[in-house]
Chain A
Amino acid sequence: MRSTRAVEISTGLFVLLGFAALFFLVTQITNRDLSLNGGASYEVYAEFDNIGSLRPGAAVSMAGVTVGRVESIRFDQDIYKAVVRMRINSAYDRIPADSDASIMTSGLLGGQYVGLTPGGEDTYLADGDRIEFVQDALVLENLINQLVANFGRRDGRDDGSER
């Protein structure tokens, strides 16, 4: 009887430790904070010419604070733009309607996120609204192309003026 009790206690401890570890993995190292209070949020969308490598689940942030997540991304064939739907926590319900959404990159290896810059209007974004002012993702290749073209032009002009 005594030995059975010891077996049961150590088995119980082992199982509890296992579930504690699972709980730790599920709650501490994943980002479920926003979808946990799933009801308290609203959805807005924006149309981008180029979203770079933005993915569903990416953060939507204002002033560096995460206020929501990218819900879905699809390509609209009628306007040839990417439609990004964002779910924003209802705690942030006073975001001006003329706010500006831009796609930015966090760090060198970091993922891309949507940064909202507040506008000045008195009306606020509500469920289903469209964010009018957008700024596309910076595509490195385009940037380098512009840079090279610029340098090329300037070099040419310099040469000409010296002659």
Chain B
Amino acid sequence: MNLLRELFETLRAFVAAVGAVTLFLVRVLGQAPRALVRPGLIVDQVHNVGALSLVIIMTCGLFVGMVLGLQGYDLLQRFGSEDALGTGATLALLKELGPVVTALLFAGRAGTALASEIGLMRATDQLTAMEMMAVDPIRRVVAPRFLGGAIAVPLLTVIFISIGIFGVQLIGVQQFGVDTAAFWSQMRASVDMNDVLEGVIKGCVFGVACSLVAVYEGYTATPTPEGVGRATTRTVVISAVLTLILDYMLTAVML
């Protein structure tokens, strides 16, 4: 009986959390048009979460691509069809690895920064001070960060994929001697616009999800040092789990 009640409580808390996040999203989106009036704030955030994540995204993209080159070549040469390396690796990068790894890196690099920044603002009463001055903290602090993240992630995703393809090419063509023409022409013959679109759509969805989780966790953080720390941890965990679940759903819909 006790167990049943606990289960029910957990379920209720989960439903309440989903509701709270949804309402928060509605509030942020409601303030988004007014946040657009001051594009400087959004540019700052695109710089913070996007431009400053560029190095880690590009490094990881290169190495993920190079690993795909090694593994893909090893796998395909067992079937004697190394020429399909370009196609296989590109599709893997476009449809799965690019968006998912970018979202995970974004959650780790930028999501935590967003959550702890907003959480610290909450802990040091800066958000309350803004409210006192009749400045809506959602409009001034949360909406620009959310929009910045949602803009940055799709861009980071396509950069990751492009660098990744370069990495595959580096290993497959330069090191293992897959024919350059076969590599590119097979890729061009079997990759079509929908595959690119799938990657971009996933990037957009993951960007919205990860940014929302980060700003929500920061905004609702308990205003103590432990609270901010917990909010940061929860940001990474929830973003990662959400990304993978959304990835499955999006793949099932778009395949």
Contact = CB atoms under 8 A, between A and B. Distances in A.
Interface of A: 4, 7-8, 10-11, 13-15, 17-19, 21-22, 24-26, 28-32, 57, 59, 107-111
* Contact residues of B: prevailing secondary structure: helix
* Contact residues of A: prevailing secondary structure: helix
Given A11-B51, A21-B155, 7 more contacts: A11-B50, A21-B161, A26-B193, A28-B188, A29-B191, A29-B196, A32-B193
Contacts of B79: 108-109
B190 interface: yes
Contacts of B81: 107-109
Contact of B188 (A8, A10, A29): A29
Contacts of A108: 79-81
B138 interface: no
B47 A7 contact: yes
Contacts, number: 83
In the complex, the 6 A-B pairs of residues with the closest C-beta atoms, listed nearest first: A18-B155, A14-B51, A21-B162, A21-B158, A11-B47, A21-B159
A24 B191 CA distance: 13
B68 interface: no
B199 to A, nearest CB: 8
Contacts of A59: 189
B92 interface: no
- Which of A15, A22, A25, A107 has the most chain B CB atoms inside 10 A of its CB? A25
Interface in B191-214: 191-193, 195-196, 199-200
Contacts of A25: 94, 158, 161-162, 196, 199
Contacts of A21: 155, 158-159, 161-163
